[in-house]
Structure 1
């Protein structure tokens, strides 16, 4: 099982909206994430907008491509994209660059 952690940055003026949207994630989005191999998925948001994401999956590349193929993900990314800083033209899901794990206590 791969453990994946990534960082993104939510715009300061959109933090409240980001929190609200994640308090009511669409059921079909949750179903798609589960069906494509995203497990134990969590998002942590600091008050300055730093977003830390964590998930476990058998194959992160396959999990990402599985989500990319879903219609619900395209809608979610289109709605969430404007809430982030520094995406360089990417959608939020494309900007998720995994951090290198340097320690794990099993």
Structure 2
């Protein structure tokens, strides 16, 4: 019988610098395959990023067993780190972000199965 574990739902937000909106869109029209492969190996699925009023909203589902280890593997991946050198200048963390924090997680208030 297949594993039917409930995925961990993750939502996070960050501001998009308006002067970099076109560049950010352009970058996401062609995310490098190695970055996508790293996300897949880290058990990230159903990943989407939305934009509204200069706020980026990301949602993904995590299906692995060790979230912290998988996120550390993503952060250590050279291709992903390079990708972030391209995308980070386009973003501005929210005022509520902690020191060194970029995307900040949102609190799930409702979910319909």
TM-score surpassing 0.5? Answer: yes
Alpha-carbon shift at residue 64 of structure 1 (Å): 1.6
TM-score by length of 2: 0.80
**1:7-47 alpha-carbon deviations (Å, 9 max, x no partner):** 0111001111101100011111111111111111000012x
Whether the aligned pair in 2 keeps the contact of 1:67 and 1:73 (CA below 8 Å) is yes
User: Of residues 60, 78, 88 in structure 2, which corresponds to 1:81?
Assistant: 88
- Out of 52-61 and 16-25, give the one that drifted further: 52-61
Point out the structure with the larger strand share: 2
Change in 2 beyond 3 A, CA 1:50/1:27: same
Q: Which of these two proteins has the greater Rg computed from alpha carbons?
A: 2
**1:101 CA drift (Å):** 0.8
Dislocated runs of 4+, deviation >6 Å? none
> How far off is 1:60 after superposition?
3.8
Cα deviation for residue 102 of structure 1 reads 1.1
Provide structure 2 residue ranges, at least 5 long, that are not aligned to the other structure: 1-6
- Structure 1 unmatched runs, 5+: none
Give the aligned partner of residue 96 of structure 1: 103
Asked if the contact 1:57–1:63 (Cα under 8 Å) also holds between the matched residues in 2, the reply is no
Q: Give the number of equivalent residue pairs.
A: 102
* TM-score between both structures, scaled by the size of structure 1: 0.85
The CA deviation string for residues 49-95 of structure 1, in whole angstroms up to 9 with x for no partner, is 210000000354333212012111110111211111237774xxx52
Structure 1 residue 55 and structure 2 residue 63: aligned? Answer: no
